[in-house]
Structure 1
């Protein structure tokens, strides 16, 4: 029996974006042993909520530099237009999810990449519609129409309510927030459930913390070990960025070697087995 993982997240959260390599590592290591479900937090409905907290375009650009240098995900350091509410992007993910879990996850990942490599405010259809239409395999017109669909709104509000029903261990870890009423999970928070037991890894955590939760819930779960991009890229048809490839290459508790990963990826491109798409200060590497 697989371990259930509830992933509380938001497309506009830099901490959640910075945890993408950890999620790819969990998907690679445990495969179908983990059964994922995503809950959209809905951090803010409007940019004004961030403006009231003192957020500015130049400050957010500086934060992008800090996150880039610490976590190595692709970022743009072009001056950001300013803060943006995340409600519209969250609703689009919920709308896409009606076409299947993978459709929702594909759009969520595309929104993350755009949010942090494009300085535009991501709270209008002018900016968000091209992102939706860039995702292959989903019906973009239906996803966009979902913004006016009462079912999508009800599902989104259910997500928001679930994200604001916090398990006590999350509070004990100091990884919750109270920005719009009830206490809520911060992104990314993972709730692991198996055989009547629940373990909570709230907020940004190390990959080791997730491994410890999984090992305590089911030490018999089959695992895959480290592998190079010749093996990992085909398992992720929508691509991996360099730091994700590097993490999948290294043994547990080792530090990822970004240079070695990039060299291996260049070799794959030269051999016609991968394609490089520039993304922010880095690239998205796609299998061929």
Structure 2
């Protein structure tokens, strides 16, 4: 599955680096899990929203057998050029979400206020929530996705991100605000973003009978990154 088409046309290119290998057990430790699953994603990606039920089932089926890690790839970057006509882009993007919804059967907001300006606030919030445990992290990520795909108001500022996750069971909202603003969490998301832009060769020229076969995407600045979501 892949994500939203980029705003610039694709061009040929390549990347050779692979993601980190599966974690190795120290001497005397239980060797399982032997496999690491990396989910390259973005809280505001419509294909990730549509894939959520399948991924949830897969995580449940593999529980205790793999180490599952999310890497936030930043679909909407801070340095993306602003649209010359925001209303026209919002109308186009709403139609695009409808097309994706027809493919994934995921619910979507009837009215979209705007196209997200940036993925950074929601990605920082999602990464910070991981410090409070997997259940809190899953709940926070779900709320961030609902901000755009249910409410039509993308969580693209720190204030909106914190507001939309209020009330997640077990969440310490004050700690979340501090952690999301910390240099440590920002560095982790920067590392996620960089890792997502080192796709394995196998995803550079995928061909399949699907509108979104998983081929790596070209970003507006000419880099290649994994399509979102990719496992």
The answer (yes or no) to whether the contact 1:64–1:76 under 8 Å persists in 2 is: no
Q: Indicate the residue corresponding to 2:69 in structure 1.
A: 37
- C-alpha distance in structure 2 between counterparts of 1:75 and 1:185, whole Å: 24
Higher relative contact order (CA 8 A, sep 6+): 2
- C-alpha distance in structure 1 between counterparts of 2:142 and 2:168, whole Å: 10
The answer as to 2:99 corresponding to 1:59 is: no
The answer (yes or no) to whether the contact 2:139–2:168 under 8 Å persists in 1 is: yes
Q: Deviation per CA, 1:118-137, whole angstroms, max 9, x where unpaired?
A: 12242123422222223121
The answer as to 2:210 corresponding to 1:177 is: no
Q: 1:131 to 1:50 in 2, by over 3 A?
A: same
Q: How many residues align?
A: 190
1:86 to 111, 119, 124: 119
- C-alpha distance in structure 1 between counterparts of 2:82 and 2:47, whole Å: 16
Q: TM-score normalised to the size of structure 1?
A: 0.59
Give the alignment of 1:206-285 within 5 angstroms. none
Q: Indicate the residue corresponding to 2:229 in structure 1.
A: 188
Deviation at 1:48, TM superposition (A): 5.1
Give the alignment of 1:118-197 within 5 angstroms. 118-173=151-206, 175-179=215-219, 180-190=221-231
Deviation at 1:92, TM superposition (A): 0.8
The answer (yes or no) to whether the contact 2:117–2:156 under 8 Å persists in 1 is: yes
Q: 1:48 to 1:175 in 2, by over 3 A?
A: same
1:72 to 89, 105, 119: 105
SS at match of 1:134: coil
- C-alpha distance in structure 1 between counterparts of 2:84 and 2:194, whole Å: 23
- C-alpha distance in structure 2 between counterparts of 1:87 and 1:156, whole Å: 8
Moved over 6 A (4+): 52-55
Deviation at 1:16, TM superposition (A): 1.0
Q: Greater share of helix residues, 1 or 2? A: 1
SS at match of 1:104: helix
Gaps of 5+ in 1: 191-288
Larger radius of gyration: 1
Q: 1:106 to 1:172 in 2, by over 3 A?
A: same
Q: Indicate the residue corresponding to 2:136 in structure 1.
A: 103
Q: TM-score normalised to the size of structure 2?
A: 0.73
Deviation at 1:90, TM superposition (A): 0.5
